[in-house]
Amino acid sequence: MSNSAGHLCVDASAIINLNASRCAPDILRALPERLLVIDVVVSELEEGRKTGREDAQMLAGLLQAQLIKKESLGEPESTLFEALVSGSAAATLDDGEAATIAYASGHSLPIVLDDQKARRIWQGRFSHLSLRSSVDLFRHAAVQRALGQERLAGAVFNALQTARMRVLVEHTRWVTALIGDANARVCRSLSQRQPRA
């Protein structure tokens, strides 16, 4: 457990959002925690190569630069993983989210999840552990200092436009203030929450 200190587990959506920001290396260097990605998530992103997605290639570069660390499930985590991918649709997750939850819970680590169902399952079973979203990575004070207001706004807008980054209701005001009302209106994950004129 000692080698898990200062780590943060992320699922595929967080990796995709960071890649889309076009600032991933600088964001990862600024964050005080080192991001962990499970090999199941890496394989999931590799599947995207067939449809022309570049996230696996970009992640490979971040792994090679040691800005993200790859981990694998051990025996106890594998049992939880199997439970999370088996059963009714309402209670199961895709492999990447299930693997991330299994590893994070097994090592008592904070986790970054954007999917609504994955967040609900985490909160229902592991509420004693920290839960964050992709937006929380951008909102981190160290990231704001490292990028500056203008570059951060561009990074968040890129993630919203390119990756359709999910924004929790409680983050909508911060995101809108950062990127501006005009940009917020053209982002699908924000536009439905904008007040009507």
The pLDDT tens digits of the residues spanning 28-41 come to 999 999 999 999 99
Cβ(93)–Cβ(85) under 8 Å? yes
Question: What pLDDT sits at residue 192?
Answer: 57
Tell me the average pLDDT across 176-181.
96
Domain 2-135 CATH assignment equals 3.50.50.60: no
Tell me the average pLDDT across 40-66.
93
* Phi, psi (deg, nearest 5) at residue 34: -90, 130
Question: What pLDDT sits at residue 196?
Answer: 41
- pLDDT over threshold 90, residue 195: no
Taking all residues of the chain, what is their mean pLDDT, rounded to a whole number? 92
**What pLDDT, in 10s, does the model give residues 93-129?**
999 999 999 999 999 999 999 999 999 999 999 999 9
Question: What pLDDT sits at residue 88?
Answer: 79
Tell me the average pLDDT across 142-158.
98
Confidence of residue 5 (pLDDT cuts 50, 70, 90): low
Query: What are the structural domain ranges in the chain?
Result: 2-135, 147-191
- pLDDT over threshold 90, residue 25: yes
3-state secondary structure 51-99: HCCCHHHHHHHHHHCCCEEEECCCHHHHHHHHHHHCCCHHHCCCHHHHH
Q: Would you mind telling me the total number of residues written for the chain in this entry?
A: 197
Tell me the average pLDDT across 1-25.
86
- pLDDT over threshold 50, residue 84: yes
Using alpha carbons, select from 72, 117, 128, 67 the residue that is nearest to residue 99: 72
Q: Which residues contact 107 (CB under 8 A, 6 or more apart)?
A: 1, 4, 7, 9
